Structure 1
Amino acid sequence: MIFHYNILFRIIYWIIGSIVILWLLFFFVHLFVPTQRLNDVSTLAADISDHLFGEVQAQKRDYPRGQSLDAVQIWIDACYPPGVAERTNAEKNLNSQEIIVYRNLGNLVFRMGDDQSTASKVIEAVQSNGNILSIALIGLGMLTTIFSAINSSEIGTGSGNVAITVKILAIVFPALVTAVASLNSIYANSEIAARKARMNSSMIGLATDMSTGLLGKPCIGVENKVEDVVKLAKDWNQKYSDILSSSLVSLGTGQGPSAPQKK
């Protein structure tokens, strides 16, 4: 009977250990190796990773900049066309200050769109990693409880192979729980997601202010003086800098300043 218990626990030991090691291996691959590069190295490994985390990867997508920011870009393109030939012709009727204003607004829209997209992807990654690691913690926590209970029972006493296997697993699983919990604090940090969400919300508010200030107005000229647009552009650039500063200040604290402070 003891012999059968010995074989059974050895089988369980190797099966559970192999599953945990393989899962952690593919999770690290999922975190650090781009899907395309993994596919170039090994299509089998890429297929396994896609099977384990395919639902998470399928949710990843390119995020639009938002209607307000697109509306500002449309206004800029109408007054300062993006095409080389069209822009060259448009610049013939513009002075240097007007050209600088258009280029500044275009650069601001590009940076805001890029920041919004990056923030949204970071939030999605944190949520996805959090879901995966939470499932891992639940499973490892259950196994830790089971083997801790077995270790305290008659099966875990003595110096036989079965007892030694149980004692090893009773040590290994709590260590894995600690390791996964540490990974959870790094790759599923809710403070990072909250900080990016606040920044994204502030960017959307700024984009709304920009679209409100420009839509319905003609291009820079007699009816829309360059001085007025310059004043708006300075204010928007300052607000953008304040948003970035607030995001950096909140790093590591989870809290930013109560209101943007003018420099």
Structure 2
Amino acid sequence: MSLRALVVCLCSSAAVLSGCGGAGAPPDDGAGEPAAAGAGGSCLSGGHGGAPGAGEAACGGPGARFATRVVSACFGPGQGFGQDRYPDVVLGPPKGGGCCGGSLDVLSLGDGGSIVVAFEGNAIVDGPGADFLVFENAFGRGDDAASVFAELATVEVSEDGAAWSAFPCAADRYPYDGCAGWRPVHANPDENDIDPLDPPSAGGDPFDLAEIGVSLARFVRITDRAGTPDVFDLDAVGIVHALCP
């Protein structure tokens, strides 16, 4: 596939046009500008459902533990899978396919594509070990743990939607530490009783805020590693350590 081709950016029907060759400012949704779309590209921003606004995080009761809103999305070339179910396909808990088969309940970001999600009435906080999980549809091939069908992405977090902190992604060789898209997902509430927020059993890729010196995050941005033959497919994002459990 060609690199850095025109990026087509889509959002839900409730999205507000931002930067698509016309005047007008993006909505003040507390998440700043959408990710850059690449040369000649443009993005729609807006979202689906509620999300915390800008300002100090506070708890008004139990909050969502899985993403409830897509703030912005920029789909790169190469794939369109899941866009007919966007944005709902990436909201709520994962629907994993297990060790040896990738789930089809996913949204392909396309080559270099990016998505920002948020959690209604909640935020990720730093605790012992993994603080949140990103679920893709990676799966193993054979008995060799290193033989995995991986579709890698870089993960970033933000408290205010303006300043972002990225997890270093070791994408050059297995194990792909700090990347999303290489651990199979076992949790699937439609098919099993595995706790989707228990990292050892749920599967998915765990991220610890302490590793990048962050104590609280309300937005998660996932960006496909451009130029690789396989593109990232997002299933879900879940909070392990929540401000509002």
Counting helix residues as a fraction of each chain, which structure ranks higher?
1
TM-score by length of 1: 0.20
Whichever of the two has the greater Rg, that structure is: 1
- The alignment's TM-score, normalised by the length of structure 2, stands at 0.21
Name the structure where strand makes up a greater proportion of residues: 2
